[in-house]
Amino acid sequence: MIYCAWIVAHVLLDGTSSARSWGGMAARALVAAMAITAWDVVMDPGMSRAGNWVWEQGGSYFGVPTRNYIGWVLTTLSVYLCSGIAFRVLSGRPDTARPRLYLALPGIAYGLVAADHFFSNAVPELRVVDIFGISFIAFVALLRLSSMPRPVLDLP
């Protein structure tokens, strides 16, 4: 899902987050980190309630501590920034047009995860978070992609 969030961030930013631009790379890293954390905001409470893991001290968000989400943002932001720097170093390659479906797959994956959690979540209250979190991200990414005249992805 980390790669999916990276591509979704690219689409959400409508291709303005070029790996050749420091600001664009940082914007894509931040949006991707928030997108993957939104995914975890829906995943963790249900997984915890299902007994897949236990938070010893718990937290105020369905038993999940806030530090978990801060950790997700900081860890994935670090991964995305390192990746962005690597892509910037390798940016001698020209931008490559990709089939719309190629760029749609991560948004579709987000949508499928959202649907799965909406219909089978162990924490029914999270349906609202699902709708306004990962479902919204998937919807906007797919909507933006449909309006892009020539989808381009600047990954090596």
| CA–CA dist 87, 155 (Å, integer) | 6
Average pLDDT of the chain, as a whole number: 81
Position 156 confidence tier, pLDDT thresholds 50, 70, 90: very low
Q: What is the pLDDT of residue 150?
A: 63
Alpha-helical (H) ranges within 14-135 are 22-49, 66-89, 100-120, 126-130
| CA–CA dist 35, 1 (Å, integer) | 10
The answer for 62, left when phi > 0, alpha when psi is -120 to 50, beta otherwise, is: left
Model pTM score: 0.80
More confident residue, 96 or 47: 47
| CA–CA dist 68, 53 (Å, integer) | 13
Long-range contacts of 104-108 (CB under 8 A, 24+ apart): 104/142, 104/145, 105/4, 105/7, 106/3, 106/4, 106/5, 106/6, 106/7, 106/8, 106/11, 106/141, 107/7, 107/8, 107/11, 107/138, 107/141, 107/142, 107/145, 108/138, 108/142
Position 51 confidence tier, pLDDT thresholds 50, 70, 90: confident
> Which pLDDT tens digit goes with each residue over 64-85?
999 999 999 999 999 999 988 8
